[in-house]
């Protein structure tokens, strides 16, 4: 079926203010995810949610809608994850954490307990990582080898 440019534009217009969201980790049910979104995003109007399968949801109101989107071939190249640096020497609980986080990916946040030095057992950083590349499991900081643990990932 051939469509004119005008028809394509009309069809796509209803989806232009939607987000395609991929849920990582556990499979999540529709109603639970909808209530989570409503709690996380205190919006003024109503939202509608479409379960697209394979843990993808279309939120009508982490990714702009694509007219040719297919869940079976979708690529989600990055994700945000918390990282623990277990037994990190206390001398590195300072400005070096920014360098460490950016070495692992893109540092987004440092845990408050880590900033305050309240937990000496580990430092905790939130980083955006490229999941198309192998995870960094250890880094060298000076002469020290530091192992990296990724929360919610079994290695």
Domain termination site, one of 73, 103, 123: 73
Identify whether residues 105 and 136 lie together within a single domain.
yes
Identify whether residues 69 and 10 lie together within a single domain.
yes
Contact partners, residue 59, CB within 8 Å, separation at least 6: 18, 19, 20, 21, 37, 47, 48, 49
Beta bridge partners of 81: 127
Residues 152, 27: Cα–Cα separation, whole Å: 14
CATH of residue 126: 3.30.70
Domain assignment of residue 93, given as a range: 78-150
More confident residue, 74 or 150: 150
Identify whether residues 91 and 139 lie together within a single domain.
yes
Residue 111 lies in a domain: yes
Model confidence at 64, pLDDT cuts 50, 70, 90, reads low
pLDDT tens digits, 95-138: 688 899 999 998 888 888 888 877 788 999 989 898 889 999 99
Identify whether residues 68 and 111 lie together within a single domain.
no
Residue 83 lies in a domain: yes
């Amino acid at each position: 079926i051939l469509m004119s440019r005008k028809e394509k534009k009309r069809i796509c217009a209803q989806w232009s203010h939607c987000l395609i969201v991929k849920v990582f980790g556990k499979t999540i049910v529709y109603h639970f995810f909808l209530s989570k979104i409503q709690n996380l995003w205190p919006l003024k109007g109503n939202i509608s949610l479409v379960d697209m399968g394979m843990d993808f949801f279309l939120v009508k109101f982490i990714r702009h809608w694509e007219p040719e989107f297919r869940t079976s071939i979708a690529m989600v190249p990055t994700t945000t994850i918390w990282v623990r640096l277990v037994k990190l020497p206390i001398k590195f609980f300072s400005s070096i954490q920014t360098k460490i986080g950016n070495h692992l990916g893109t540092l987004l946040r440092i845990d408050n307990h880590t900033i305050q030095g309240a937990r000496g057992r580990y430092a905790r950083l939130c980083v955006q990582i490229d999941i198309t590349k192998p995870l960094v499991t250890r880094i060298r900081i000076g002469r020290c080898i530091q192992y990296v643990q990724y929360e919610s990932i079994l290695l």
